[in-house]
Structure 1
Amino acid sequence: MRKKEILWLYVFLFAALADVAMIVNAEISYRYFTKPLIMIALLLYFLQSTKLIKGSLLRITVSVGLFSSFLGDVLLLDGSLFLFGLGAFFMTHICYIVAFKLTQNHTLNLFKVNFIKMFVYNLPLYIVAALIYFLIHSQLNELKIPVIIYIMAIVMMVTMARERFGRTNKSSFWQLFIGAFLFFISDSLLALDRFFHPIVDGDLLIMSTYILGQLLIVMGIRSHLVQIK
C-alpha cells in the first residue's frame, strides 16, 4: 500500500474515532467537523488506490456513492433536512448496486437466473426489512413513499452484495457483503431510533456500524481489483 493511500486511510480512522468520541461526550457541535471528514477521507483513499482504473464506470460509481454519503452525513446533522439526507443516501445505494454488479466475474443471463432460489436466499432480509417498516410506518406521515423507495434500494444493495458469492474472490465477497449488511443495520437502527423508539446509545451504534460498513465495502471492491491485477 503506497504512502498516499495509507495516509488517507489514517485520516479516515482518525476522523472516525474523533466522531465517535464526540458522540460519547455529547459534543454535538464538533461533529460538524469530524463527521464530514470521515467520508471525504475514505473517498480520497479510494481515488488514490484505484488510479489504474481511472475513468472507468466502476471508479466513477463508487466515487459518486462515497460523495453522496458525505452529503448525506452533512445533511443528517440537521434534523430538518432528513428527507434530503435520505435522498443523498438513496443515490449512494444506487451507485453501490451498479458497482457490486460490475465487480462480478460473470455476465448476466436472465434465462439462467433461478428466481425462486434467489427469493428463498434473500427471504430473511425481506422479512427483516418488512418488520422494520411495520414498526415505523405509523410515524412516517408524508415520508412513507420516500422511505418505502429507500428500503427497496438498500435491500437491493444487500441482495446484490450477496449475489457476488462465487463470482469474486472470498476476501472481496465477505468484506463487501458484511459491509453492505452493516450499512443495512445502521440504517435500520436510524429508522427505529427516529420513528419507533429511542435506542440507548443509538447514535454510537448507528455511526459505528455505518463507518465499518463503508470501510468494508471499499476494501471489498479494492480486493476484487487486486485479484484482477
Structure 2
Amino acid sequence: MKKIVLTAIIIFGSIYIFFIPPEPVGFKIFMKLVPMALILTFAAMTPTFVSRNYKRTIIAGLLVCMIADGVIYWFLAGLITFFIGHVFYIFAFKSVSRNRVPIWAAIPLLLYGVFMAVLLAGSQFSVGQSVMGFAIIAYIAVILLMGWMAIRTRLKLTIVGALLFIFSDSVLAIDRFVLDIPYRDAFVMVTYYAAQVFIAASIGSRVIQYSVNRNNLIR
C-alpha cells in the first residue's frame, strides 16, 4: 500500500509541476496540496522505529507545511507558516538527536547562512523593506537550525530531507529577491516534495544506540 501512495505522490506531483497552469489560482492551489495530502498519508502509514513522539511531531510539521503551501501566494503569511513548520521539525529532530556530531560540521551551514542573509536580506534592506529583511533573517536562522538538528539525528533520510528543503527554499528566495532562475518552479517543487517524502519516510528509520560496551550495538 505504501508503494501505491508513493507512486501517487510522484504522479500527482508531476502533474502539478509540469501540467497545471497558473490560472485559475484556486485550482492550482488545490492540485499543489494533493501531493502533500498523500505525503501525510504516507507518513501516517509508516510504522515508527524512532519514537511515537517523533512520528506525531513530524506529521504535525507536514500538516503545517501543507497549510503554508496554500497561503504562500500571500508571501509573508506563507513565510510565517513555513517557519512554524520548521519549528515542529526542529523539535522532532531534537527528540532523537545525538551529541556525537562534531561542532565543526555546523560551519558550512553557518557560512551558507551568512551568505544567504547578506544576499537576500541585504537586498531588502537596501530598498527600505526592513520588515521583510528581518523576516528573511529569522527564516534563514530557523531553517539552518532545522538542518543542524537533522544532522545531529544521524538519520540519513532525515538529513537528506532537511538539505533538500534548504535547497528548495534557497532557489525560491533567490528567484524572488535577487535574480530570475530558469525553470524555478520545477527546481523548487521537485526538491520540496522530495524533501517532505524523505522526512516522512524517516519515521521508519532504525535508530542505533550504544550500550555500555560500545562494541555492542542495540537496535
Shorter-chain TM-score tier: 0.7 to 0.9
**Alignment partners' CA distance in 2, 1:17 and 1:7:** 15
1:83 aligns with 2:76: yes
Alpha-carbon contact 1:19-1:35 (below 8 Å) kept = yes
**Alignment partners' CA distance in 1, 2:37 and 2:65:** 9
Give TM-score, length-normalised by structure 2.
0.82
Q: Which runs of 5+ in 2 are unaligned?
A: 210-217
Q: For residue 63 of structure 1, what is the aligned residue in structure 2?
A: 59
Q: For residue 200 of structure 1, what is the aligned residue in structure 2?
A: 182
Matches within 5 A, 1:1-229: 3=1, 5-22=2-19, 27-29=21-23, 30-50=27-47, 56-76=52-72, 78=73, 81-104=74-97, 117-118=102-103, 120-140=104-124, 141=129, 142-165=131-154, 173-224=155-206
**CA spacing shift, 1:226–1:67, aligned 2, 3 Å:** farther
Decide which structure has greater helix share. 1
The one-letter code matched in structure 1 to 2:138 is: I
Query: Which 4+ stretches in 1 moved above 4 angstroms?
Result: 51-54, 225-229
The count of corresponding residues between Structure 1 and Structure 2 is 203
**Alignment partners' CA distance in 2, 1:139 and 1:200:** 20
**Alignment partners' CA distance in 2, 1:14 and 1:34:** 11
Shift of 1:194: 0.5
Q: CA RMSD in A?
A: 2.6
**Alignment partners' CA distance in 2, 1:37 and 1:137:** 32
Q: Which runs of 5+ in 1 are unaligned?
A: 166-172
Show CA shifts across 1:178-222 (max 9, x none).
111010011111110101111111111111111111111112232
Shift of 1:124: 1.1
Alpha-carbon contact 1:22-1:31 (below 8 Å) kept = no
**Alignment partners' CA distance in 2, 1:226 and 1:47:** 23
**CA spacing shift, 1:51–1:215, aligned 2, 3 Å:** closer
Alpha-carbon contact 1:161-1:176 (below 8 Å) kept = yes
Shift of 1:8: 2.8
**Alignment partners' CA distance in 2, 1:212 and 1:59:** 18
**Alignment partners' CA distance in 1, 2:92 and 2:47:** 14
3-state secondary structure, aligned to 1:28: coil
The one-letter code matched in structure 2 to 1:68 is: V
Alpha-carbon contact 2:90-2:145 (below 8 Å) kept = yes
Shift of 1:52: 9.1
3-state secondary structure, aligned to 2:153: coil
**Alignment partners' CA distance in 1, 2:177 and 2:78:** 15
3-state secondary structure, aligned to 1:198: coil
Shift of 1:9: 2.5
**Alignment partners' CA distance in 1, 2:196 and 2:28:** 18
**CA spacing shift, 1:53–1:121, aligned 2, 3 Å:** closer
**Alignment partners' CA distance in 2, 1:14 and 1:203:** 16
Greater relative contact order (Cα < 8 A, sep 6+): 2
The one-letter code matched in structure 1 to 2:163 is: F
What is the aligned-residue identity percentage? Answer: 27
**Alignment partners' CA distance in 2, 1:126 and 1:194:** 22
